[in-house]
Amino acid sequence: MISQHPHPRRIRVGIDTGGTFTDVVAVDEVSGEITTTKTPSTPADPAVGFMAGIDKVLGQLGVGGDSVAAVSHGTTVATNKLLEGKVENLGFVTTEGYGHILEIARQSVPDGYGNSYFWVKPPRIVPADRVKTVRGRLAADGSEIRPFDEESAEAAARFFKDAGVDTVGVCFLHSYADPGHELAMRDVITRVHPDAVVSISSEVLREYREYERSVTTLVDAAVKPSIRAYVDTISRRLHAYTTQAAPAGRTVPFYVMKSNGGVLSADEVMHQPISTVLSGPAAGALGAAVVADAAGFGSVLTCDGGGTSTDVTMVRDGVPALTTEGTVGVYPSKISMIDVVTIGAGGGSIAWISPEGTLKVGPQSAGADPGPMCYGNGGHEPTVTDAHVFLGRIPPRLLGGEVPLAVDLARRGMEDLAGRLGLSSERAASGVLEISAWNQANALRQITVKRGLDIRTFRLVTFGGSGSLLACRLVDVLGLSGVVVPLNPGNLSAYGLLTVDVRNDYVQTAVMKQSGLDCVRLERIIADLTAQADAALQREGFSRDERRFERSADLRYFGQAYEVRVPVGEGDVTAAAADAVASRFHDEHAALYGYDFRADPRQQVEWVNLRVTGIGPIRKPALPEVDPGRGAARAVTGQRAVYFEEWQEAAIYERAKLGAGDVVAGPAVVEEFSSTVPVHSGFEARVDRFGNLLIEKTSP
């Protein structure tokens, strides 16, 4: 450990744990100085890499743990558990007569019927023999049709105890309208099987649609033990580290990133583990939104390339798009989350040959251990990183020399792959990168072209350790208007953690037609949701004056199977206010789908869900500006052979020496601590006042 500083400063730290590296950003709350670093992730125990990152960045600042003012963390613990299918020893309790809800599921078929003749539904999250039903029934409005039956509830609880099932999800029919039966079931399980971890749907997702609510509740239950153990371990180690030589009773706020673009205290996350399933990607999207907005681009696409995967999303008017129709792995999770598409196309993605002799890239990854062949840690399969190294696009070292790369091993991997394909090594390596680029391009098309948007009108913000390596090729493939590469792109997700507020989402279904709207009931539900959000913010330590609330509603045309979310605004929910909400719904529906039924009195508007988000503001670091440039030539550190369609001598630039207004013309490679940016022939990169590289195509 490092020595303690005699006069502690106030340092806020953002730390994002990825598959290969743990990224760290620290900001001095007084001076605004920002410091970044990376350290290898430790998949066997992520807490080790977390604490190593904290210690490393504080060491760079020359301060000790007593200087830490707050820590915000993005984690993949819940995501990895679901992606790897490690959902075991799980039980499910539902209403009598609905024991097969997980089999029935939904009729939606991926990729369209034309390509899915032999598609079968994904495996159940809970096997049929671990589903128990309990007598009792509620109506859609919450009124009781049959009372809760404690005898059948006790029988279910005893079954789970005797079977050694310690994690249970409970979802009763229409419990979104009244949680009474679910609360009674939880009490029974706690009494009969006190070691069980229980999630109830009325606390996880108070919305209708029984299948999605059931699976979301079960996902929450599945990740709860892992998240609780991980967050508890981190909290204890962080507390011990930050209280050395500090006043007794000192507590450092520890926040965890949520999927909805906010953070939550570690104590609250224990009760809402499912809210962290897209923790890391959400932080990156928010950081990219801040950078793009400062650069003058309110609506952009983002591309976060890591070692294992690439995450893409869309930012509209400075705000990342949200959805409640997301999935993690094969499991639908109907919680509010940033609309991220994730593909297995990272720097560690493995290049392989199918039985038909076709070159494939990913989704299998070499991960952090053993990693790509060029890491020299025993990896024996060529990866995207090996192709970049062999073609000279990545220097023979990473992290300023901390991670040396074995170019000869990368070459051996490409030569072996080329021999099996009957190609030259350069053609094989270029093929690996081309497939990886098209994989990323197809993901970007999913969030634009498939939704009726012209992708050519967008700029792309690239970040992550590998996110910018294929930037120029993506411009060619997609016809993008340009690319924005932030300073320290490999640490942008960690920076994003320092730019977000505490956010708590509360929702309740209340299906009503506009023509028969019960404004008194709407007002009562919104007041109840607001009270829940207010209580949560109070527990987080925010004063009454600091707390803010955003109100919204999900509306649709009667008969539709999907909703559109629109703001409700402040004030009483009067008939006039409800009409204004309906008008906004017409506008948003037209913007999203190209039409509306505003002028057709036969087509009624229907309210479905009411939502309240409680927001506790956290101080955000200002983006620093760079000094004016004095010519890009000052940043040239040498030349090396780089393969862009052919071997060329490319100038190598040290990014830290580039200033505002400097222009780098391709072929070139711009290098920095956390990332590398190849600039192809026919492209140039201009440095703006925030140090961003603005890449544009200059010739056909």
Query: Is the pLDDT confidence value at 579 over 70?
Result: yes
For 692, which DSSP code? -
- 132-161 burial, b at 16+ Cβ within 10 Å, e below that, comes to bbbebbbeeeeeeeeebbeebbbebbebbb
C-alpha distance across the termini of the chain, in Å: 55
Q: Do the two domains 11-81+226-276 and 502-616 of this chain adopt the same fold?
A: no
What local confidence, expressed as pLDDT, does residue 626 receive? 93
Say what angle helices 46-61 and 210-242 make with each other, to 10 degrees: 50
Burial zone of 363 (CB within 10 Å; 0-12 exposed, 13-18 middle, 19+ buried): middle
| 593 vs 179, more confident | 179
The pLDDT tens digits for 372-422 are 999 988 889 999 999 999 999 999 887 666 778 999 999 999 999 999 999
**Could you give the CA distance from residue 167 to residue 268 in angstroms, rounded to a whole number?**
19
Query: Is the pLDDT confidence value at 632 over 80?
Result: yes
Mean pLDDT of 74-101: 83
**Could you give the CA distance from residue 683 to residue 245 in angstroms, rounded to a whole number?**
53
**276: confidence class by pLDDT, cuts 50, 70, 90:** confident
**278: confidence class by pLDDT, cuts 50, 70, 90:** confident
Query: Is the pLDDT confidence value at 293 over 80?
Result: yes
What local confidence, expressed as pLDDT, does residue 246 receive? 57
Nearest Cα residue to 48 out of 306, 368, 283, 496: 368
What local confidence, expressed as pLDDT, does residue 469 receive? 95
**116: confidence class by pLDDT, cuts 50, 70, 90:** very low
Tell me if residue 651 falls in helix, strand or coil: strand
What local confidence, expressed as pLDDT, does residue 365 receive? 83
- Number of separate helices (H) and strands (E) present in the chain: 16, 37
Strands laid side by side in the 548-557 sheet: 34-40, 21-28, 11-17, 68-74, 254-257, 263-265, 502-513, 605-616, 548-557, 564-567
> What type of residue sits at position 50?
F
- What is the number of other CB atoms lying within 10 angstroms of the CB of residue 181? 26
**592: confidence class by pLDDT, cuts 50, 70, 90:** confident
557 Cβ contact list (under 8 Å, min separation 6): 589, 597, 603, 604, 605, 606
Nearest Cα residue to 687 out of 649, 652, 660, 653: 660
Pick the most confident of 236-250, 444-458, 550-564.
550-564
Nearest Cα residue to 405 out of 371, 365, 436: 371
Identify the H or E element spanning 144. strand 144-146
The pLDDT tens digits for 221-253 are 998 988 888 889 999 999 888 887 556 566 888
Mean pLDDT of 576-597: 92
Q: Which residues pair with 550 in a beta bridge?
A: 613
**7: confidence class by pLDDT, cuts 50, 70, 90:** very low
What local confidence, expressed as pLDDT, does residue 369 receive? 73
> What type of residue sits at position 511?
V
Mean pLDDT of 475-484: 96
405 Cβ contact list (under 8 Å, min separation 6): 374, 375, 376, 389, 394, 395, 396, 397, 398
What local confidence, expressed as pLDDT, does residue 180 receive? 96
Pick the most confident of 28-32, 275-279, 339-343, 347-351.
347-351
**5: confidence class by pLDDT, cuts 50, 70, 90:** very low
Mean pLDDT of 70-75: 90
**Could you give the CA distance from residue 489 to residue 670 in angstroms, rounded to a whole number?**
12
Tell me if residue 527 falls in helix, strand or coil: helix
What local confidence, expressed as pLDDT, does residue 32 receive? 82
Give me the percent of the chain exceeding a pLDDT of 90: 60
**4: confidence class by pLDDT, cuts 50, 70, 90:** very low
**Is the Cα torsion angle 276, 280, 285, 286 positive or negative in sign?**
positive
**569: confidence class by pLDDT, cuts 50, 70, 90:** confident
- Contact indicator for 602, 587 with CB cutoff of 8 Å: no
Dihedral angle at the C-alpha atoms of 302, 306, 310, 311, nearest 10 degrees? Answer: -50
Tell me if residue 509 falls in helix, strand or coil: strand
- Contact indicator for 217, 169 with CB cutoff of 8 Å: yes
Query: Is the pLDDT confidence value at 114 over 60?
Result: no
Query: Is the pLDDT confidence value at 118 over 80?
Result: no
What local confidence, expressed as pLDDT, does residue 618 receive? 85
Cα 432 to chain center, whole Å? Answer: 26
What local confidence, expressed as pLDDT, does residue 104 receive? 85
Mean pLDDT of 68-84: 80
The backbone torsions φ and ψ at residue 311, rounded to the nearest 5 degrees and listed phi first, read -115, 130
Dihedral angle at the C-alpha atoms of 198, 201, 205, 206, nearest 10 degrees? Answer: -140
- What is the number of other CB atoms lying within 10 angstroms of the CB of residue 646? 9
- What is the number of other CB atoms lying within 10 angstroms of the CB of residue 120? 6
- Reported in sequence order, the residue ranges of 578-645 that DSSP labels E, i.e. its strands, are 605-616, 636-644
Mean predicted lDDT score pLDDT of the chain? 89
**Could you give the CA distance from residue 543 to residue 526 in angstroms, rounded to a whole number?**
21
| 309 vs 636, more confident | 636
**Could you give the CA distance from residue 135 to residue 94 in angstroms, rounded to a whole number?**
9
What local confidence, expressed as pLDDT, does residue 553 receive? 96
The pLDDT tens digits for 322-331 are 887 777 767 7
Q: If you write DSSP's letter for every residue of 75-130 in order, what string do you get?
A: --HHHHHHHTT---SEEEEEETT-TTHHHH-----TT-GGG-TT--PPPPSS-GGG
- Contact indicator for 295, 692 with CB cutoff of 8 Å: yes
Mean pLDDT of 106-131: 68
What local confidence, expressed as pLDDT, does residue 464 receive? 87
Of the candidate CATH numbers 3.30.1490, 3.10.100, 3.30.450, 3.30.70, the domain formed by 502-616 belongs to 3.30.1490
**351: confidence class by pLDDT, cuts 50, 70, 90:** very high
The pLDDT tens digits for 495-520 are 999 988 888 899 999 999 999 999 99
Enumerate the domain spans of the chain: 11-81+226-276, 85-223, 349-436, 502-616, 632-697
Pick the most confident of 157-171, 495-509, 621-635.
157-171
What local confidence, expressed as pLDDT, does residue 109 receive? 59
Identify the H or E element spanning 216. helix 210-242
Where do we find the tokens 């020359």? 62
- What is the number of other CB atoms lying within 10 angstroms of the CB of residue 457? 11
What local confidence, expressed as pLDDT, does residue 574 receive? 92
**Fold exhibited by the domain 11-81+226-276:** Nucleotidyltransferase; domain 5 (3.30.420)
**Could you give the CA distance from residue 2 to residue 349 in angstroms, rounded to a whole number?**
37
Calculate the alpha carbon distances from 107 to 30, 102, 122 in Å.
56, 12, 12
